[in-house]
Structure 1
């Protein structure tokens, strides 16, 4: 007989709802930096894939070319990104995250770590362990989604 916690199948609908709720909480945690969700998403994307062309950012952020241009102009004005000519194609512009832009993302992550750690303090040891045990599978899910 399988232990109860191993016999339960993944309820994808329930999983998606929990992830949506956690994402909403994570996004709304207070922060010193008051940037739009899309601007923060651009910075997050650039922390992993800098530099990127504006057309690539348009696709990853799922906004129009004019919207991404306006966001990048504002982020550049705030010193969070830089636009430079593509050395391989003089017609194209590459967007680079600046150290100040990376610091915004790092400080938000540290703030979230502190807040979520406070929430996790209210979980039982078994609940904390269950989350810890799920992290490798969640990482793998992110990898699979990134490859799709």
Structure 2
């Protein structure tokens, strides 16, 4: 069972992440990608060509959700489909140059907004924030989907 202080910290983090997400959505430029689409595109940019099912598995979303995400990425010119050389029946998703540029943050209003906010922190605060978020992401990504409990 979790300690009350940990549960309180978790509730506080959940609240703050929700607020930060809303603030960043507000700063998004018209037509900017959703966080889910941005994440999927970043996975393609960093991981290379993938089948749609592989991308869904890596992003830990259901196949129908990934279908909607990929459709929006294709419509925006961020992703194209190529024939899979190993299986003529399958296609691979590939990030376009525009998609790659978006992931690097060059054209993202959200990234510019975060950059400006991070500039207001001292280097130790920035490093602590990034290290803490990376650690939390690592812990959460190893848990089975739907595992809400904090242990046995």
The bucket for the TM-score relative to the shorter chain is 0.5 to 0.7
Structure 1 residues without counterparts, runs of 5 or longer: 1-8
Q: Is the 8 A contact 1:84 1:93 kept in 2?
A: yes
RMSD: 3.2
TM-score (norm 2): 0.64
Q: Which residue of 2 aligns with 1:62?
A: 61
Residue 50 and residue 25 in structure 1: after superposition, are their counterparts in 2 closer, same or farther (change >3 A)?
farther
**Cα offset for 1:18?**
1.0
- The structure with higher relative contact order (CA 8 Å, sep 6+) is 2
Q: Number of aligned pairs?
A: 135
Q: Which residue of 2 aligns with 1:4?
A: none
Structure 2 residues without counterparts, runs of 5 or longer: 144-152
Q: 1:139 aligns with which of 128, 134, 137?
A: 134
Q: Which residue of 2 aligns with 1:100?
A: 98
1:33-62 deviation per Cα after TM superposition (whole angstroms, max 9, x unaligned): 544555434323322333121223344373
TM-score (norm 1): 0.65
Q: Is the 8 A contact 1:38 1:61 kept in 2?
A: no
Structure holding more helix per residue: 1
Q: Is the 8 A contact 1:42 1:61 kept in 2?
A: no
Residue 146 and residue 49 in structure 1: after superposition, are their counterparts in 2 closer, same or farther (change >3 A)?
farther
1:5-48 deviation per Cα after TM superposition (whole angstroms, max 9, x unaligned): xxxx5411111211222123223323265445554343233223
